[in-house]
Amino acid sequence: MKAWQRQGVGLENLKLVDLPTPEPGPKQLLVRVKAVSLNFRDKAIVDGVYLPHLMTQPFVPVSDASGEVIKVGSEVKKFKKGDRVTSHMFTKWLDGTPNKDDGAHALGGPKNGGLAEYMLLDEDATVMTPATLTDEEASTLPIAAFTVWFSLVEYGKIKAGDTVLVQGTGGVSVYAVQIASALGAKVIATSSSNEKLERVKALGAKEVINYAETPDWEKEVLKITEGKGVNHILEVVGGQSINRSIEALALQGHIYIIGFLESMMAEVNVFSLLAKQAHIQGINVGHRRAFEDMIRAFDELDIRPVIDTVYSFDEALDAYKHLYKGAFGKIVIKVSE
């Protein structure tokens, strides 16, 4: 089969190769990949900065994939040939608490991922693709949508009527606008582009703030919320931004630390943290049971994934380059028809 393989650090070591088509073990599925989507993690893996001690052998990159089951192992019970399925990245984190070695069993590094004509999925680490989504759309769920869901629903127990602050318009952030709005929350979105703010308004955001025009955006958030602050903040920026987030937070509000676009270090004002009795939660995707919950929710909620650009399988490197530049919503690679 044709496959892209990560053979070392840097985009120049992402190579299109021929690999033997794998055979499913007793509890595995052989899946013909239709589409994959890219995440910040995929970039960090190419750059060699994401758990490099685990990424020592060549592997097929990209964790998030949707496709069709071609063949099932002898003991598989939950899926059959022809099923439309989507991958679950942490293949051993199924429910409850995470495991110490989840990283060592993650798809798209060090386990083979979806940027190939075929991939193996463990029966336990696979979910049914929602009937309402195309394969390209569904391939954007496993990290980007699910990180938002796991933050707001599993950790934050979000309620309709809560207020949510979303920073920026990358893949996670656009989903945050859509999912939080669909759950009945009031979303306040920030961006440095008024054009993008118009687009997130169309996706459900009730209030928007251009942080280039309003650098003290936390004060604007307090004004919008009549001094109460917001209940949930998805923090993707890192660095000093977190202190503005704490100021913008309601008493006992939640900050989900999802990314670190600006800096790996965040200098936190501890006194503000105490005074707000803030919850800060580090997020690292989630478990399969909650992913299945979200799939069911997508069947009820009217959320249409926002795809910035679809690249062909041969254009995979262009897709990565787009990821480096930033996108509005998700970047998808179509692997096969």
List 23, 265, 312, 324, residue binding its own copies (CB under 8 A): 265
Whole-number minimum distance, CB 102 to its own copies, in Å?
9
Q: Are 86 and 78 in contact (CB under 8 A)?
A: no
Q: Is 276 in the site for its own copies (CB under 8 A)?
A: yes
Tokens 């703030």 correspond to what residue?
A: 209
Residue of 18, 56, 131, 157 that binds its own copies (CB under 8 A): 157
Rama region for 59: left / alpha / beta (φ>0; ψ in -120 to 50; rest): beta
Distance CA 49, CA 218 (A): 31
Torsions phi, psi for 107 (to 5 deg): -70, 155
Q: Which two tokens stand for residue 111?
A: 């386990």
The answer to whether residue 192 forms part of the interface with its own copies (CB under 8 A) is no
Least distance from its own copies to the Cβ atom of residue 2, Å: 32
Tokens of 253: 């509000």
**What residues have CB less than 8 Å from 182, skipping those under 6 apart?**
204, 301, 302, 303
Phi, psi torsion values for 228, nearest 5 degrees? -80, -30
78 belongs to the binding site for its own copies (CB under 8 A): no
Rounded CA-CA distance 253/241 in Å is 16
Our CB check for its own copies shows the closer of 13 and 277 to be 277
Strand boundaries in 8-54, DSSP class E: 14-18, 28-37
Q: Does 9 bind its own copies (CB under 8 A)?
A: no
Nearer of residues 33 and 154 to its own copies, judged by Cβ: 154
Cα separation values, 41 from 3, 222, 248, 263, 303, Å: 19, 33, 28, 15, 24
Minimum distance from residue 54 beta carbon to its own copies (Å): 12
Decide: is 266 part of the binding site for its own copies (CB under 8 A). Answer: yes
Report the residue number, 299 or 314, with the smaller CB distance to its own copies.
299
Could you tell me the smallest distance in angstroms from the CB atom of residue 242 to its own copies?
8
Candidates 118, 120, 139, 140; CA nearest to 3 is 118
**Residue 283 corresponds to which tokens in the numbers above?**
């997020």
The stretch among 54-62, 155-163, 190-198, 324-332 that binds its own copies (CB under 8 A) is 155-163
User: From the list 215, 275, 314, 324, which residue makes contact with its own copies (rule: CB under 8 A)?
Assistant: 275
| 260 near its own copies, judged by CB under 8 A | yes
CB of 272 to its own copies, least distance (A): 8
Q: Are 176 and 164 in contact (CB under 8 A)?
A: yes
Q: Which stretch binds its own copies (CB under 8 A): 107-115, 170-178, 184-192, 312-320?
A: 184-192
Q: What is d(CA 90, CA 85) in angstroms, rounded to the nearest whole number? A: 16
Q: How many Å is the Cα radius of gyration of the chain?
A: 20
Contact pick of 53, 56, 82, 95 for its own copies (by CB under 8 A) = 95
Q: Does 251 bind its own copies (CB under 8 A)?
A: yes
Using CB under 8 A, which of the segments 4-12, 64-72, 208-216, 258-266 binds its own copies?
258-266
Let me know: does 295 contact 270? Beta carbons within 8 Å: no
> How far apart are alpha carbons 55 and 46 in whole angstroms?
10
Smallest distance, its own copies to C-beta of residue 184, A: 5
Identify the residue among 15, 80, 159, 304 touching its own copies (CB under 8 A): 159
Span from 14-22, 63-71, 165-173, 179-187 in contact with its own copies (CB under 8 A) = 179-187
Q: How far is the CB of 331 from its own copies (least distance, A)?
A: 22
Number of residues that bind its own copies (CB under 8 A): 60
Query: Applying CB under 8 A, which residues contact its own copies?
Result: 94-100, 103, 153, 157, 159-162, 182-186, 206, 227-228, 238, 251-252, 257-258, 260, 263-271, 273-284, 287, 289, 293-301
